[in-house]
């Protein structure tokens, strides 16, 4: 897969996560307490440094009280 596309995708995902977290005024450590994902890992996911697994995304969504699909709700081009 094109690395730029992959990076962009993970970056967009991270942005979405950050948006929802900030909207709820949660710090990484606070969100970490609401779900079983370590605070430092959340940081890395928000920065697009980690290619998280589906269940991790689910955990984060649960902690935020949103449907997981909302974390993927961003524009994305598929041109290779």
Chain positions contacting DNA, by CB under 7 A: 27-30, 36-41, 43-47, 49-53, 55-56, 59
Does 55 sit near its own copies (CB under 8 A)?
Answer: yes
Query: How far is Cα 50 from Cα 4, in angstroms, rounded to an integer?
Result: 14
State how far Cα 17 lies from the chain centre: 4
At 26, give phi and psi (nearest 5°).
-110, 140
Which of 6, 22, 38, 39 forms a contact with its own copies (CB under 8 A)? 6
Does 31 sit near its own copies (CB under 8 A)?
Answer: no
User: Which of these, 55, 71, 69, lies nearest to 15 by C-alpha position?
Assistant: 71
Q: Considering the complex, state which of residue 39 and residue 67 has its C-beta at the smaller distance from DNA.
A: 39
State how far Cα 39 lies from the chain centre: 12
Binding site for its own copies (CB under 8 A): 1, 5-6, 9-10, 13, 36, 51-55, 57-59, 62, 65, 67-69, 72-73, 76, 78, 80
């Amino acid at each position: 897969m094109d690395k730029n596309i992959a990076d962009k995708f993970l970056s967009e995902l991270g942005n979405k996560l950050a948006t929802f977290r900030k909207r709820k005024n949660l710090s990484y450590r606070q969100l970490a307490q609401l779900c079983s994902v370590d605070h430092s890992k959340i940081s890395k996911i928000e920065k697009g440094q980690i290619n998280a697994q589906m269940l991790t995304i689910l955990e984060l969504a649960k902690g935020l009280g949103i449907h997981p699909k909302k974390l993927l709700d961003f524009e994305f081009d598929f041109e290779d």
